[in-house]
Structure 1
Amino acid sequence: MSSLSVNFLGMKMASPVIGASGTVGFGLELADYVDYRKIGAISGKGLAPTPWKGNEGVRIAETTSGMLNCIGLENPGAPYFIEHYLPEVKKLPTVFIANMVGKSVEEYAECARMLTVPGISALEVNISCPNVKEGGAAFGTDYHQAAAVTKAVKEATTLPVIVKLSPNVTDVVSIAEAVEQAGADAVSLINTLMGIAIDLRTRRPILGNITGGLSGPAIKPVALRMVWQVAKALSIPVSGLGGIMTGTDAIEFMIAGASTVQVGTANLADPTAMERIVREMDKWCDKNGVKDINEIVGTLKA
């Protein structure tokens, strides 16, 4: 039998598989479908310092080999989560990572302070949010702003900080290097790609927000490319995600350089996906003589 256990930023995980933010709620929603003892970690739904109501209108549109979403990061706010959800989340037999969002550098720092509590093992910082103080461009599309958020969060917490990178940039490596230099302990990538879907009957956008984030199998080749580029350039660990539907998909990401992998859209199609993917990874390792899953990280021959 192969070993699938990993040590990611000091967090001991049963496997490299992490439930991606926004697709597993706070972990409680899938507890009847997944044996969390086999899942490495859960990255919870993005939390802000105060509640966000999200976008109006249609929020999800199915596309070829994927889906678009414009949920708008609806969430109950970090204080409500800590009071009402965290006591139950602590009972889950897996690591919990709090994903966090903000509309300014100050909000990110405030949220980090709020979430630095027992039961939360690390913070994943979503920098695909618009900076309301700087004209609305996403923090993750400018390396100065990405670094500023990273620095502020690091100064506000004692927890490991994972920065989740946007793919909607011309040079993802420069953004990754900026957040590493600002103190990030790891990066995760990719977040969703921006897209649009059109209703031919009305000739109007299907989504209420017009554009949305594309996820699912359609983005996997882009995600693999970016993970490979970033992993080569950084000395900190990489968590890879984007279109992982099977165990072999996950193995590809690890060969490209990811130390852990995140499963997102697959959970919406199959609530048992994470546990199935762990089984498929184990089977692949046995078939290919891999005794320890960590051996394959970054072994792409390119």
Structure 2
Amino acid sequence: MRDFVQIERMLLRRCRSVHNPSNDSDTEVGLAENVDLLVPPYVVPSTGAQVSLSSAIGLVNRYCAKLPSDIFTRLVPQNRLIAVNCNGMVRYRAELLLPINSPVKKPIVLETPVDSKKLAQMAVALEVGDFKACRTLHQAGELNDHLLPVGRESIADLLSQLDEDPDEWAPGISAKVGSARRKQLYDKRVATALHEALPVKGSPCYIYVMELELLKEPSPESNPKRRRFANPLDYEYLFGFLSAKVLPKIPPFAAYLRQGDMRVHLVRASTQHFHHYIFKNVLQLCKANLDFHLDASTPINTLVVPLRRGSDFPSLIG
């Protein structure tokens, strides 16, 4: 019985979280009865499949769960509620950001304020405002005509049609694919947003701050000497980079370093000489027979810049 009481308390705490707010207004008390009458459902004409306001959040969560992932990936959509004062009354807008491995990169924004938090979450998940979650996913091919997520099985079938190396054993190579003896080379790729992003004299450029937050200290197995690592948020200095392009909004992502599990926040906020000095003299990553060459043809068109955290520049994580 004690276990059931603890489970009930956990569920009640979960129901009062920001992702599933409690009914805190008279409008939300009767929301479950007539919510689907507020906004017409999104219907696929060819199949008749439809998603209503009450089922939109579940469909978005089901889609995120079907995205390719590993044990380190947390496939959860980020939902942000924004309180707006309309004629003395508090109303709510919402912004939905899908996981980083979803093809839909732009935030889905509910521009028209609604009366309650829960309704704002439902509306941004369905199709209210200039951006639409379920409609956007359907038009992008992430939901089929039956409004079901295109899961890992469909992706696996698609990859199996790419006849690059279909056999487990390749001619002339005795080692099995995936074994330690099998050596294969893969092409490196750089994000297209970083192509031709080198700052040019006389042209505007943008500085991006890389803020690291220590989430979990390294385990005793990975840190046998029991070294103590400070949280990068407590450092006086931090790093960023310059870009001639405005990068798309990138949600915080995880980085698993020797110092522990980190969360990286990327915020927009002579440089070439410092960049060269850091990589050649400090990190010693440049070979002696290589020349430092930086122009539009360089694969990664960004420059690392030194930054100092001042009293008027607080932590960007909030």
* TM-score, normalised by the number of residues in structure 1: 0.24
Instruction: Identify the structure with the greater helix proportion.
Output: 1
Larger Rg: 2
- TM-score, normalization: structure 2? 0.23
